[in-house]
Structure formats: C-alpha cells, structure tokens
C-alpha cells in the first residue's frame, strides 16, 4: 500500500480516496432508500456527496502526507546506512554484505576473488597541515580517482577514517596486482587543490587473492589484507604487498 501511495503521490491518492468515499456514500444512501421502498430525495443525495467530499480530503491528506514523510525518511536512513556521507562510497557494513554475497557465489563456481585493503599514507600529517577540511578534500578526491580506475563490477568502500577496501570479483592475483599499480599511479598523479595549497598523497595496499572456501571467513581474509597493508607501510609506503602461498611477497 505504501509503495502504491508513493508512486501515485499525495494529491492523486487523496483524490482517489475522496472519489471512492463519495461513491460509497451515494451507494449506501441509495441502498437504504431501496429497502425503505422510497425514492431518494435530492437533498439526501446531495448530502451523501457533499459530506464525504469535504471530510475525506481533510482526513486523508495528513495521513497520506505522513506516509510520504515516513517513506522518505526510511529511504534517507537506508542511504545513510549504505553510503558514506563524505565520499559517497559504500559504508563498512554495506560493502561487507556485498562481499559476502559475491564470495558465496565465487565459492560455488570456484572463481578467484581479490581483496585490497588501502590506507592513505601520512594522513595525520595532511590533517595537521591543512586541517580536517583539507583532509576531507583529499578523501573525496581519492574516492573519485579510485572509482575511475575500477571496473563497474568492482566494489569500493570506506571502512573508517582513511581506510578503504576494494573487492574484485573474478580477479586473479596477477590481475589485481596490475590494477593496484594503476591505482598507485593514478593516486600519485592526483593533485588536490585546497585553498592556496596543492596536496599530494599516496596509499599503501595489502592484497589477498584466493578462491573462497567455507574454511576461511571474511574476517580472516580482512585480517590477512590488513597485516599485508601494514607490512607495506613498513616497507616504505606507496606500494602493494600481496599474499602468496600463505606468505607475504
């Protein structure tokens, strides 16, 4: 019912309800007169039309308007739960839900998937130098830059602060490494104009590629990618460390 009201809109819905009320009122009046075996007087018919025509819109309009407001608020709340307000990327829970679904399918079809954990290098220094507003501009620029490199079938989400996840369905480690290099290059070339400054930044990446199995949970895969990410930080940042046969390499 709510979907029908939403698709029709407030005024058409009120008009339909009012018309239905008038028809029902006239029909009831005519039925009563039929059983009383008398002809319905004009004043009775006019009253049967006038009363619902006046009352129905007054009663229906606020109710329909309330339903429309509730529906709008629910959509807004769903959007807030699904998309990060600053970057427009998937939120932590939203991308985890998407990854779980794709991993189940990849497990059945025995297809490779790749997961990249990304962290912007020295982001605290950017905030300290340019303020949080400058840092926000970097995050927004990063999201745009990365989305331009990814395929439509890939998933990109912000899991907190300057930390991000990329999930690549049907992607081998070799292909994922090639993509990570394109990401590094695109990020290095990205220049964020903020006030009187130009901000450059880089990202470190931890990469795990595998055929999903029931024995390995998403949490374990994320932990592996996160460990590799911090290994990339220790190796000098602005690089990717991948997972080969259970060992970083």
Element (H, E) at 40: none
- Give CA–CA dist 62/55, Å, rounded: 12
- Give CA–CA dist 160/157, Å, rounded: 9
- Give CA–CA dist 173/2, Å, rounded: 47
How far CA 86 is from CA of 15, 82, 139, 201, in Å, comes to: 41, 12, 8, 18
- Give CA–CA dist 22/191, Å, rounded: 66
- Give CA–CA dist 189/184, Å, rounded: 9
Question: Which of the following is catalytic: 162, 181, 215, 219?
Answer: 162
∠ CA 79-82-88, rounded to 5°? 80
- Give CA–CA dist 187/239, Å, rounded: 11
Cite the beta strand spans of 14-106 per DSSP E: none
Is residue 215 part of the annotated active site? The answer reads: no
């Amino acid at each position: 019912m709510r979907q029908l009201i939403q698709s029709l809109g407030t005024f058409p819905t009120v008009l339909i309800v009012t018309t239905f009320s008038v028809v029902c009122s006239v029909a009831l009046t005519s039925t009563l007169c039929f059983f009383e075996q008398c002809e319905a007087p004009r004043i009775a018919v006019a009253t049967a039309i006038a009363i619902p025509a006046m009352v129905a819109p007054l009663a229906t309009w606020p109710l329909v308007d309330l339903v429309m407001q509730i529906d709008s608020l629910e959509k807004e709340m769903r959007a807030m739960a699904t998309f990060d307000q600053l970057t427009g990327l998937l939120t932590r829970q939203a991308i985890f839900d998407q990854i779980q679904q794709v991993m189940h399918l990849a497990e059945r079809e025995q297809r490779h998937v790749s997961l990249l954990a990304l962290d912007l290098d020295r982001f605290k220094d950017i905030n300290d130098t340019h303020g949080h507003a400058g840092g926000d501009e970097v995050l927004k620029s990063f999201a745009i830059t990365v989305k331009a490199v990814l395929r439509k079938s890939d998933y990109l989400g912000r899991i907190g602060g300057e930390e991000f996840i990329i999930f690549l369905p049907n992607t081998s480690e070799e292909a994922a490494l090639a993509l990570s290099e394109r990401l590094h290059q695109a990020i290095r070339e990205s220049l964020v104009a903020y006030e009187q400054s130009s901000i450059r930044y880089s990202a470190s990446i931890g990469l795990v590629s595998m055929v999903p199995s029931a024995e390995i949970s998403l949490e374990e895969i994320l932990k592996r990618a996160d460990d590799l990410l911090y290994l990339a930080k220790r190796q000098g940042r602005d690089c990717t460390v991948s997972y080969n046969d259970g060992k970083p390499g």
